[in-house]
Amino acid sequence: MAAKIQLHGKYHNGTKSKTARKGQPSLRLACRSSLFRKKLLPFVEDLESCKLLHFKNLKQYRDETNATTDTNYFSMALRNMKDGFAERFEQFKTNKSTLAFIVNPLNTNTYEINIEPFGIDAGSLQMQLLDLKTKDLWSGKFTELKSKLEVLEAQKCMHTAQHKWTALKEIPRVEALIFGAWNSLPECCSEVKKLAYGVLTIFLSTYSCKQAFSCMNIIKSKVRSQLTNENLESCLKLKTTSYKPDLIKLSKGKQSQCSH
């Protein structure tokens, strides 16, 4: 039980909580899932060696009670989990070049990209991508994007290590930087931008739909039978929007109506 609790904590804190939220590009989900699968192997080796370096609660229980731990059971469960993740996310591996296109288009081979789901014209994509790679004005945007993403990851690591959660929320979001780079390209790169937007929004709409349905079930409860469709729509917009109005500034601009 101690091993299961610790493993669930490692998964929830390290992977699920970082991917299951609005605005996460598919590339980040692919990287997180790949990293989690790789981390499972040291866990298996740790259990099989009985050192329990990654399972401190289980080690403490074993040392205090001299209990015999069936590490084979846990190691087999972890191996099955690793195989299950590999099978579930197999398409991430086969479409790695497609997912990486959004942040690294300059080193992309068009023959390695799966453009079929996005309705892209292959010939136009090749020509536009060639223009993107050879014109410094445009290619420089993605060189700059890569540098910004590296700085962003360094800031995240620093804030996480120092437990500065408020500062962590205030740093720019990865998807905002990526969208900004692609939005700055001219319309003559229409097919390239179409592919990038398609890859960027693979999972974003799915999460938003699930979030909206969940919020609707909470807002439109059995005791709110008089709630109109118009009011429900307004409540959903307020609940799901990322817009944050400056209430203090707005309130200062309004004159209060004092009673006479």
pTM of the full structure: 0.62
pLDDT of the residue at 17:
45
Structural domain spans, the chain: 26-94, 104-222
Q: How far is CA 63 from CA 50, 51, 52, 138, 236, in A?
A: 12, 11, 11, 61, 53
pLDDT at 143: 92
Three-state SS at 105: helix
* Token pair belonging to 133: 């790679």
Q: What is the pLDDT of residue 3?
A: 52
The CB density around residue 91, as the number of other CB atoms within 10 Å, is 12
pLDDT tens-digit readout, 179-207: 999 999 998 999 999 999 988 887 655 66
